[in-house]
Chains A and B, each alone.
Chain A
C-alpha cells in the first residue's frame, strides 16, 4: 500500500510541474462530460414532463371515447352512457390564459373524480388519497405543479382570473402534475373554458373496454372508442427531436474525449523516464499500472463533477429554448425548471469515468508494456507510420462500406445515425492518410531546403496531431452540415409558409353556432372577396394520428397550396370528391404514392380515395389529409366548419379584424392575421434550432481546445527538431512563423476536407435523417457565405490554439536550444 501511495504521489508531482497540462486534461473531461450531461438533462427533463403528462390520468390504462370530429360533445352523452350501464367518466380539456399573463397558455383538464375508474391514479396519486370534499365543494381546488406556479409568479391559495374574467378555484400545489396543466373539477372546467354542458372525452376502464363494447347505434356516428395506446403519445412524436439532441451530445462527448486522449498521451510521454525510474526502484508493473489507473480515475471524477455541474448549468441555459421548440413543434409542455434525479448526477460521473478510461486505455496499455531497461527515447515519429496509416485506411474503408450498407438497406432513424457515425468516423480515420498523401505528393515540388523541411516536418508531426485534427474535422463538418441543414430548412420553410399562408385572415369560431353567425355577418361585408370554410376531422389512419381537412374548390388553393408531386388534373379530381391529397410525411409513413388508394374509416362506412397529390407540411407531427368538403360531409353528416380563411385586400384587414373582435369577442388565438401567423411560425422555427446551433458552436470550441492541447504536446518535444535549424541560422522569429505555417497548413488541409464532408453530412441530414425522423425531405442548399464563416471560425480556433505554444517557442532562450544538443548522447 505504501508503495502504491508513493508511486502515486511521484506520478502526481508531474501535474504540479505542468499545470497547463493538468488543466487541459481536466478541461477535456469537463467539456466532454458537461456537453453530454447537459443534453441528457434536457432530454430527461422533457421525458419527465411527457411522463407526467401521460400519467395525469393513469393506472388502469384507460380507453377513451372521443368525438369523431375531434371536437367537444354534449354532456348528455355521458349521462346517457352511464344510464345504459357504461362505466365512463367525463373529461374536458382545453386551454386558457390568465389575465396579465397572456403569453402563457395553460392546459385545463377537468375531471369528475367520483366516476373515475377504480385504480385510477391522478398525477401519480391514488384516488383514495384525494381530498374529495375540498376538490368538489365550493370554491374547489385547482391543482397546479410547482414549476407552473413559479412560472406564473403566483402563490398557493391564490385565485387568479382568466382573460375572460373567470376566477380559478384556489391554487393547490401538486408535485407530480404535468407542467402547464391546471387540474380542476369538470364543472369548473366547463365554466373556465366557457363550454357549458360540453365534454371533450370519456374515460373507460380497461376491464370494461376489454369486452370490446359497441357504442349504442345512436352515438356510434358521433363518437369513437380509442383503445389504450392507440394514440401516438408525446414521447413517440418527440422521439426524433431527442434523438437528434442525443446525437449532437454524443458528438461533443467524442470530441471531448479526443482532448483527454491527447493530454493523457502527452503526460505519459513526458513521464516515461519517471516510470522507468519507478520500475527500476522496484515498483511492480502491476502496482504502477494500478497507480496510473487510480490517477486517471481521480482525474475523471474531478472532471466529471465539474462537468456534471456545468452540464446542469448548460441545460438550464438551453432549457427555455428547448421547451419553446417542443411546445411550438409538438404542443408538448416541458417544465421550465430543471429537476433532475440523483441517477442523472451519478450517470454523469459514470460516463466521465468511462470516457476517461476509454481515452486513457491506450496510454495505460503502453505503460504496461514499458520495457524496463529500454532507453527513454522520444517516440520515433517515423516508426511504423506507414503501417499505422495503412491500418487506418483499411478501417476507414470498412466503415465506408458499412455506411453504404446503412444507406442502401437502412430504413430507420437508428440506421440513419449509423450511417452518419460510420461516415464521420471513416472521414476522421482517412484524414491523416489524406494529409500524409498530400504532403508526400507535394514534397518533390519543394526545392528550397527550408521548404522541404517544412513539408517533411509537417508530415512528421502528423501522428501526434492527428487526433486533434480529426476532432477539428468532425466539429467543422458537423458545423457545416447542421448549419446548411438548418439554413436550408429555414429557407424552405419560410418560402413554403409564404406560399401556403395565402389568406389574409384566419378565424376559428368558438362554437358551430358562432360559426353560422360569423358566416352570415361576413356575407354582408363587401371587402371580403372570399370566405373559405374548412371542415376538420381527427382520426387515426393505420394507427397514426391524422387530421382530415375538407376544403371548397377555390382558386386560392390552386394557386397557393404548393404540391410536391401531383397527378394530372389533381385539383379537379379533388373537387370531384374521389381524390385525396396528403402530406409528405404521411405519404411516407403509409408508403403511399400517386394513384394509390387509401381507405378511411368513417361513421358511414369505409371511404376509398385515390391519392392525387402530395404536399409539404413542415413542422406538423401529425399526418394531414386534404379532401373535398362536400364529399367529407357526406361521410360525416352534420359536421360544421372548424375554421375559416378570409380573402380580402390587405389594407382592410385591421378594420375587419377589429370589427370581428368587437362583434364576436374572439380572442387573439381565434382570429389571426397572416403576418402574425408568419411571425409566430418564424419565431417557433428559430427557437427550435437555438439549442442545436449552441451545441454545435460548443463542439467547435471543444475541437479548438483539443488542437491547443495537441500543439502544446508537440511544442514540448519539438525543441529537439527545431534546435538544429536554429543552430543552422534560422532565427527564432522565423522558426515561430514556420511552426505557425505548419499548423495552419495542416488546419487548412483539414478544413478543405471538412467542407465536402460537411456538405455530405448536410445531405445525409436532409435526405436521410430528416426523412426518417420527421417524414419530410428538404432540398439541399449550399450557402457559400456560411461555409466561409465556418472556415474562418475554424482558422481562428486554430490560431488561438497555436498562439500559446508558439509564444513559448518564441520566448525559449538560446540556452535551452543549446541544451538540446547537450542532452544528445
Chain B
C-alpha cells in the first residue's frame, strides 16, 4: 500500500505554504492531510467495485495512483527493477471537466534500478487538458509520452498491458500479461491504514509476467520477469502522527505473493497490515499480530540512514525472511524524495520484490 506517493505529492504541493505556516511536517502527517477532507468522498467498507470502470480515475476522492513495479532479469542473468507510477491529486472536490480549472494535478515517476545503479525521472501535468489522465475502456493511463495501457477494449482484470517511460539516459518498454484475477487488498478492497479509521480502496494485479527492453545510456537490454500493479485511492488515508512507512511487495518463488506494510507512528507503535496471496490468487488478510517487521542494517543513502536489510516473519505461514535491497542507493531524489527499489530475499522462502520507504 503505497501511501507514500500521496504524502509526497501533497507535501510537494504544500511546500510553498512552508513560508507562511512553517509547521514541521510530522505532526500533521507531513502535509496537513490529517485535516479536513469532508468535501471529498470518504472511504467506507463494503464498497462494491466495478471493473473495468474502477481502473479509471475517481475524482470524488482526493488522491489516487496507478503503481507498477517489475523485477526483471536480462540475458546475462543480471537483476533489474523498473518503476512506473502515475499519481492524481485533486485540489478540491469538483467534476473532472475539461479546461485549466480542472482540479486534478498529475505526477509521474519512473525509474530503472540495475547493475549500473539507479535512474529516475519525474513529470507533472494539469488535469483537464489531455496531457495526463486515465481512461478505463480501453484502459489507458498516461502522462506525457509515458503510458500504461491495454489494447483490449475492456479488461476487468488488467491482464494484457504495456508500459513505457523514459528519462534522461534511460527508456523502457515492457509487455505485461497475467492469467490471474485482480486481488482486493484488505477487507474486500477496503484497506485500513491506522487504528483511527484512516483507509483507502486498494486492489492489485500482482501476477503480471513482464518482458521487453530496457535502454540505458545507449545500451539495450532484453529483459523478462514479474511485475506488480497497485491501484489505490482515498481522501484521507493517514493518521496525524504517522511519520512514514515501509512497504513490501514480494514475489515468492513458490508462486505466492505477499504484501506487507508498516506505518511508523511517532510513539513507536507502528500500524502493520498485509495480504497473503496464494498462487491461485486467493487472498488472506494479515494483521499486526500475524507479522514481525524488523530493520537489520542501516545504510547511508543520500545523506540519511535507511534500513536496507530487513527481517520479516509470519509465523502462521512458517515464513522467516531476510530481505535485502538489490541496490542500496535506489533513492528517488524527486521534489519530495523517497526510497524505492527492487529487493531480494532468502530464508524460509526465496524470491524478489520491491521495497518502498518514506519519511526517513
A pairs with B? yes
Q: How many Å from the CB of A69 to the closest CB on chain B?
A: 23
Which of A76, A129, A133 has most B Cβ within 10 Å?
A: A133
CA distance A670 to B92 in the complex (A): 39
CA distance A82 to B105 in the complex (A): 15
A513 is an interface residue with CB less than 8 A from chain B? no
A212 is an interface residue with CB less than 8 A from chain B? no
CA distance A85 to B92 in the complex (A): 29
Which of A82, A85, A129 has most B Cβ within 10 Å?
A: A82
Chain A's closest residue to B19 (CB) is: A129
B129 is an interface residue with CB less than 8 A from chain A? yes
CA distance A594 to B166 in the complex (A): 54
Chain A residues whose CB sits within 8 angstroms of the CB of B12 once the complex forms? 132
Q: Give the interface segment out of A183-191, A426-434, A760-768.
A: A183-191
Chain A residues whose CB sits within 8 angstroms of the CB of B129 once the complex forms? 75, 78-79
Interface residues in A121-148 by Cβ distance below 8 A to B read 128-138
Q: How many Å from the CB of A694 to the closest CB on chain B?
A: 44
Chain A residues whose CB sits within 8 angstroms of the CB of B142 once the complex forms? 83
CA distance A573 to B83 in the complex (A): 64
Which of B19, B131, B168 has most A Cβ within 10 Å?
A: B131
Q: How many Å from the CB of A173 to the closest CB on chain B?
A: 13
Q: How many Å from the CB of B107 to the closest CB on chain A?
A: 8
CA distance A670 to B119 in the complex (A): 53
CA distance A169 to B168 in the complex (A): 37
- The reply to whether B125 and A133 contact each other, CB–CB distance below 8 Å, is no
Contact with A128, one of B15, B99, B101 (Cβ below 8 angstroms) = B15
- The reply to whether A114 and B105 contact each other, CB–CB distance below 8 Å, is yes
B55 is an interface residue with CB less than 8 A from chain A? no
A808 is an interface residue with CB less than 8 A from chain B? no
A556 is an interface residue with CB less than 8 A from chain B? no
Chain B residues whose CB sits within 8 angstroms of the CB of A408 once the complex forms? none
- The reply to whether B16 and A187 contact each other, CB–CB distance below 8 Å, is no
Knowing A85-B145, A114-B105 touch, does A134 contact B124 (C-beta < 8 A)? no
Range of interface residues on A (Cβ < 8 Å): 20 to 34
Please encode chain B, from 119 to 134, with 1 for each CB lying within 8 Å of some chain A CB and 0 for all others. Answer: 0000111100111000
Chain B's closest residue to A115 (CB) is: B124
Q: How many Å from the CB of A208 to the closest CB on chain B?
A: 10
CA distance A822 to B99 in the complex (A): 100
Contact with A130, one of B16, B92, B124 (Cβ below 8 angstroms) = B16
CA distance A84 to B146 in the complex (A): 9
B116 is an interface residue with CB less than 8 A from chain A? no
CA distance A674 to B101 in the complex (A): 42
Interface residues in B176-211 by Cβ distance below 8 A to A read none
- The reply to whether B144 and A85 contact each other, CB–CB distance below 8 Å, is yes
Q: How many Å from the CB of A809 to the closest CB on chain B?
A: 71
CA distance A129 to B105 in the complex (A): 18
B91 is an interface residue with CB less than 8 A from chain A? yes
- The reply to whether A131 and B144 contact each other, CB–CB distance below 8 Å, is no
Chain A residues whose CB sits within 8 angstroms of the CB of B91 once the complex forms? 133, 136-138
- The reply to whether A131 and B20 contact each other, CB–CB distance below 8 Å, is yes
CA distance A112 to B99 in the complex (A): 13
Which of B16, B17, B130, B166 has most A Cβ within 10 Å?
A: B16
Q: How many Å from the CB of B347 to the closest CB on chain A?
A: 42
- The reply to whether B15 and A132 contact each other, CB–CB distance below 8 Å, is yes
Contact with A114, one of B18, B124, B145 (Cβ below 8 angstroms) = B124
- The reply to whether B101 and A83 contact each other, CB–CB distance below 8 Å, is no
Chain B's closest residue to A114 (CB) is: B124
Q: How many Å from the CB of A115 to the closest CB on chain B?
A: 6
Knowing A133-B91, A138-B92 touch, does A85 contact B166 (C-beta < 8 A)? yes
B293 is an interface residue with CB less than 8 A from chain A? no
Contact with B16, one of A83, A87, A133 (Cβ below 8 angstroms) = A133
- The reply to whether B16 and A190 contact each other, CB–CB distance below 8 Å, is no
CA distance A187 to B97 in the complex (A): 13
B residues sitting closer than 8 Å to A (CB atoms) are 12-20, 91-92, 99-101, 103, 105, 123-126, 129-131, 142, 144-145, 166, 168, 335
